[in-house]
């Protein structure tokens, strides 16, 4: 009995003096709806741990690569056990991420990769399927025939990959035509302008694909204003909450959406904590956290929309 109490006492002492886990989270500042969502979800995930005295978080947001490098340097100087980072740009952020990894900081790279394999875990959305499924849906909805307008985001490699995938999907249908492909810079106002102009140019437009839901809002407004918000297939993406709500409510114009979830940052934060606590993923036969995770692009329809509707989120 006495022996047991001693062991218990020792265990309690060891447990209460257990090293506190310190996690640095470095993400870009909000510059459009989706990044705003990522900031919100980072805060949300951190809040989940607020009653856990053994984890501490430092969240920083950067407006440009050099600022983010400085922030990560500061985090490393402060001393962190894990770094969860969505690099503002791949190339400039690579050295500092590699440095963190070499120092033994558990490094989780989120979405935008780095130009090195020296990290612990990489988690990202699936840009290819994001574009491909949208193309496939539009092709099937139009029964393989019609005029499509593509309003893409800010021209960049992610955007290129999505657009290429979209074109791959519709290339199976020779009677589908992309009559215009213009950038909407992931902004409502810009997409509105572009759509307004395209509506003047083309008397018949059968489908519009926008790179994300912010721009879909602009397109909706332009269609409504021109009185052409009928008999048209609209697809956005990334599940902005108001668009998901429209799907949920059975809006005749928007039947589907595809995930590219900003809450991957929350998953990444959990992965970092799990790794430091030596937990493994349920259902995996392997110990330890996987090194590369590409999240599935999930299809949101009227039936399952409520599972993707987060009214408190900013995105």
Partner 1 sequence: MNLSKYLIVLILIGLMVFSGILSPAFLKPRNILNIFWQTSYVGIIAIGITFVMIAGGIDLSVGSMLALLGSVAIQIVNKLGDKTSSVILSFLFTYGLAVLLGFGVGLLTTKGKIPAFVTTLGGMAIYRSLVLNFANGGVYMTMSQKYTSIGMKFVLGLPLPMIVFIVYAILAYILLDKTRFGRYVYAVGANETAALYSAIKVDMVRTWTYVVSGISVATSAILLSSMMSAVSSSSTGNGFELDAIAAAVIGGTSLSGGKGSVFGTFFGALILGVINNMLVMLNVAVYLQGMVKGLIIIAAVLLQNLRKE
Residues that bind partner 1 (CB under 8 A): 29-33, 35-37, 39-40, 152, 155, 180-183, 185-189, 192-194, 196-198, 200-202, 214, 217-218, 221, 225, 242, 313-315
Closest approach, Cβ 156 to partner 1, in A, equals 10
Closest approach, Cβ 80 to partner 1, in A, equals 24
Closest approach, Cβ 138 to partner 1, in A, equals 19
Between CA 251 and CA 305 the distance in angstroms is 12
The nearer residue to partner 1, 187 or 267, going by C-beta atoms, is 187
Number of separate helices (H) and strands (E) present in the chain: 10, 12
The nearer residue to partner 1, 114 or 199, going by C-beta atoms, is 199
The nearer residue to partner 1, 18 or 156, going by C-beta atoms, is 156
Give 272's Cβ-side CA count (13 Å radius). Answer: 35
CA 285, 103, 272, 37 dihedral sign is negative
Closest approach, Cβ 260 to partner 1, in A, equals 17
From the number of C-beta atoms within 10 Å of its C-beta (0-12, 13-18, 19+), residue 245 rates as middle
The residues, any chain, with a CB within 8 Å of residue 50's CB and separated by 6 or more, are none
Give 155's Cβ-side CA count (13 Å radius). Answer: 3
Strands (E), the chain: 21-28, 55-62, 82-85, 106-110, 121-124, 146-152, 176-183, 207-210, 233-235, 257-258, 292-294, 299-300
The nearer residue to partner 1, 40 or 122, going by C-beta atoms, is 40
Closest approach, Cβ 252 to partner 1, in A, equals 20
Closest approach, Cβ 22 to partner 1, in A, equals 25
The nearer residue to partner 1, 31 or 307, going by C-beta atoms, is 31
Asked whether the beta carbons of 57 and 91 are under 8 A apart, the reply is no
The nearer residue to partner 1, 220 or 247, going by C-beta atoms, is 220
Between CA 192 and CA 201 the distance in angstroms is 14
């Amino acid at each position: 009995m006495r022996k047991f109490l001693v062991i218990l006492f020792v265990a309690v002492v060891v447990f209460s003096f257990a090293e506190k886990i310190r996690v640095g989270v470095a993400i870009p500042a909000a510059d459009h709806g989706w990044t705003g969502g990522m900031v919100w979800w980072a805060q949300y995930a951190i809040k989940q741990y607020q009653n856990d005295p053994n984890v501490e978080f430092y969240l920083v947001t950067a407006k440009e690569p050099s600022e983010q490098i400085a922030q990560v340097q500061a985090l490393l100087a402060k001393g962190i056990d894990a770094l969860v980072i969505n690099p503002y740009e791949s190339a400039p952020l690579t050295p500092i991420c590699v440095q963190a990894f070499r120092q033994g900081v558990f490094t989780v790279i989120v979405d935008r990769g780095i130009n090195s394999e020296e990290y612990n875990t990489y988690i990202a959305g699936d840009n290819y399927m994001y574009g491909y499924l949208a193309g496939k849906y539009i092709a099937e909805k139009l029964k393989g025939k019609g005029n499509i307008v593509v309003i893409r985001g800010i021209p960049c490699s992610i955007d290129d990959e999505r657009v290429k995938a979209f074109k791959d999907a519709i290339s199976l249908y020779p009677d589908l035509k992309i009559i215009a492909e213009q950038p909407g810079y992931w902004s409502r106002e810009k997409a509105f302008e572009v759509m307004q102009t395209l509506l003047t140019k083309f008397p018949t437009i059968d489908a519009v694909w926008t790179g994300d839901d912010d721009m879909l809002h602009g397109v909706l407004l332009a269609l409504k204003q021109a009185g052409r918000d009928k008999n048209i297939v609209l697809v956005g993406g990334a599940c902005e909450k108001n668009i998901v709500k429209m799907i949920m409510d059975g809006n005749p114009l928007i039947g589907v959406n595809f995930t590219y979830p900003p809450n991957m940052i929350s998953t990444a934060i959990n992965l970092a904590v799990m790794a430091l606590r030596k937990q493994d993923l349920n259902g995996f036969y392997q110990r330890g956290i996987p090194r590369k995770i590409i999240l599935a692009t999930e299809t949101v329809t009227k039936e399952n929309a409520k599972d993707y509707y987060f009214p408190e989120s900013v995105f």
